[in-house]
Amino acid sequence: MPDLPARLHRIRPSPSSMASQRARALRGQGRDVLALTAGEPDFDTPQHIQEAARRAMASGQTRYTDVGGTPELKEAIAGKFRAENGLHFSPDEIIVGAGAKQVIFNALMCTVRAGDEVIVPAPYWVSYPDIVWLAGGMPVHVDCPASLGFKLQPEALEQAITARTRWLILNSPNNPSGAAYLFAELQALAEVLKRHPQVWVMTDDVYEHILYGDMPFASIAQVAPELRERILTVNGVSKAYAMTGWRIGYGAAPAQLIEAMVKLQSHSTSGASSIGQAAAVAALTGRQDFIATNRAVFRQRRDMVVAALDAIDGIHCHLPDGAFYVFASCADLFGLRTPTGRVIRSSDDWIGHLLDSQDLAALQGSAYGVGTHFRLSCASSGEHLREGCRRIARARAQLG
């Protein structure tokens, strides 16, 4: 085995995959582990989408496709942007990848030069900083505390920008906090960005359709068309259509950036799966009613989990606007002791106590850049979530 290059030492394995692996290992030892860690809907992919995949296979759509995506899927994506976001893109401004993650990876790999800075508001999805490191850049974390709704403030953005800033990454609704930006909030950020032409914006909109309440979804390309020449809008079918395993995501940006990303992709995956792409066409152009049904289920679960956790002494939730996670503060538990005498000093300690004492797997906020919080996924049945909250209450009661 050759020595690993330094850039690989800087990154960590995905904490959610590690947590799921640990839960499986403990189950293998006979323990009744309840894992509330999954970042994927627990619903099945709708039947009409599965049918489209079967038809694609039967009709011979089993070969390499155009590297940047099939013409049919690019047309469906352009139609989605037109109808849902009022955005207009031509096929050469669209790329399809093996999930939104590959699109993000492509973009950062193509554009980040050694030492470039990428602004990553915290809490953040775990992969952003690690992809920036892999690309040779430097993630610059900007704390967005719960007291400010976990959202980046224009003044904080202004302060974080330097001559080396290459990208700002936005993610709304956010994983893990669920915070979603209002139109006016994005406008205020856009005002700052207008003063700094070297900064591009990557907006990760994969939770667009999992947004509760009356607030309309807003994406920065809609809000600030004058920044269009430096915005990459990323989205995908994983979350809204319960299609995580199909690995289809997409991005829309100026043609020059897309061309570079396609070039890179031609030497990595050669493009997304032909069958997955046919299924994604059905997802984007077929009936959409189940999205609202699933959203209502996620919302009920969110309300139940937030109420149950808020009732526990020392745990506080910020009501998520969207996505399917609850990101709760455990900071008031710091300094307390477990029955075995261990002092809880961090979210990692709290998560360890939940697993050791109650067989409950959740994720430590430190993985998302916020060491005072922990994340529960609501992509689990109501019964599992109720049981999870009971276990958390019992774990809390053991602390003294």
Given the rule CB under 6 A, which residues bind ligand PLP? 39, 99-101, 125, 171, 175, 204, 206, 236, 238, 244, 249
- Between 171 and 364, whose beta carbon lies closer to ligand PLP? 171
Least distance to ligand PLP from the beta carbon of 204, Å? Answer: 5
Give the DSSP H/E element, type plus range, for residue 223. helix 220-223
- Between 105 and 350, whose beta carbon lies closer to ligand PLP? 105
Q: What is the DSSP string of 190-217?
A: HHHHHT-TT-EEEEE-TTTT-B-SSPPP
Rounded CA separation 373/16 (Å): 15
Cβ-contact 94, 252 below 8 angstroms: yes
Least distance to ligand PLP from the beta carbon of 349, Å? Answer: 25
- Between 122 and 331, whose beta carbon lies closer to ligand PLP? 122
Closest-approach residue to ligand PLP (CB) = 99
- Between 177 and 347, whose beta carbon lies closer to ligand PLP? 177
Least distance to ligand PLP from the beta carbon of 269, Å? Answer: 12
- Between 168 and 312, whose beta carbon lies closer to ligand PLP? 168
- Between 61 and 235, whose beta carbon lies closer to ligand PLP? 235
Residue 68 phi, psi (nearest 5): -85, 5
Task: State the pairing for strand pair 138-143/117-122.
Answer: parallel
Least distance to ligand PLP from the beta carbon of 249, Å? Answer: 4
Rounded CA separation 228/220 (Å): 9
Least distance to ligand PLP from the beta carbon of 181, Å? Answer: 14
The strand order across the sheet containing 200-204 reads 94-97, 249-252, 231-236, 200-204, 165-171, 117-122, 138-143
Q: What is the DSSP string of 50-95?
A: HHHHHHHHHTT--S---TT--HHHHHHHHHHIIIII-----GGGEE
Least distance to ligand PLP from the beta carbon of 67, Å? Answer: 18
The amino acid at residue 70 is T
